[in-house]
Structure 1
Amino acid sequence: MNELEFQWDEKKRLANIKKHNIDFADVVGIFYDNETLIIEDPEHYDEQRYLALGIDTKCRVVLVVHVYKDIDVIRIISARKADPKERIQFSGNNL
């Protein structure tokens, strides 16, 4: 696998820290973890978005909304702690 490049809007990153107490820099590692679950976002947007469920650098199960700008370029849109249903989904996927 090539080295991944991560992008995000700095204002969104700061707003995400304030709202969810999660820094985008803390979640990039989930994209290198084989246990991370990635699915297409079922919502309809102008661009295809994906949801990644994984464990961040602070050992939290997180949900990261992102887009692939290129094969090795990921733009993070938002990140938050996974809700109970999402944690169960992640745990069930990794048994």
Structure 2
Amino acid sequence: MKKIRILIVEDHEVVIKGIKTLLEPYDELEIVGYALDSEEAMRKTEELRPDIVIMDINLPEVSGIEVTEMITSQYPLCKVIYYTSHVD
């Protein structure tokens, strides 16, 4: 069975480690990489061609929402899951 390839986009490494810990037990999932900002997210998406991007909406400089628009316009088969830990 083909594994689902996942890219994590998050600017806090402790959160990346937490997401990886949550997903690692699932054999059908493969974390192919992570990106700390929008520029790296675009570069890694092109390089790694993930099936799913787990995207923090609160990234420095360019929001995760804007990055998602760029990713999905260039890679329409790539799905994006948003999340945030921001509290108002």
TM-score, with length taken from structure 2: 0.26
**Structure with the higher fraction of residues in strand conformation:** 1
Compare the two structures and name the one with the higher helix fraction: 2
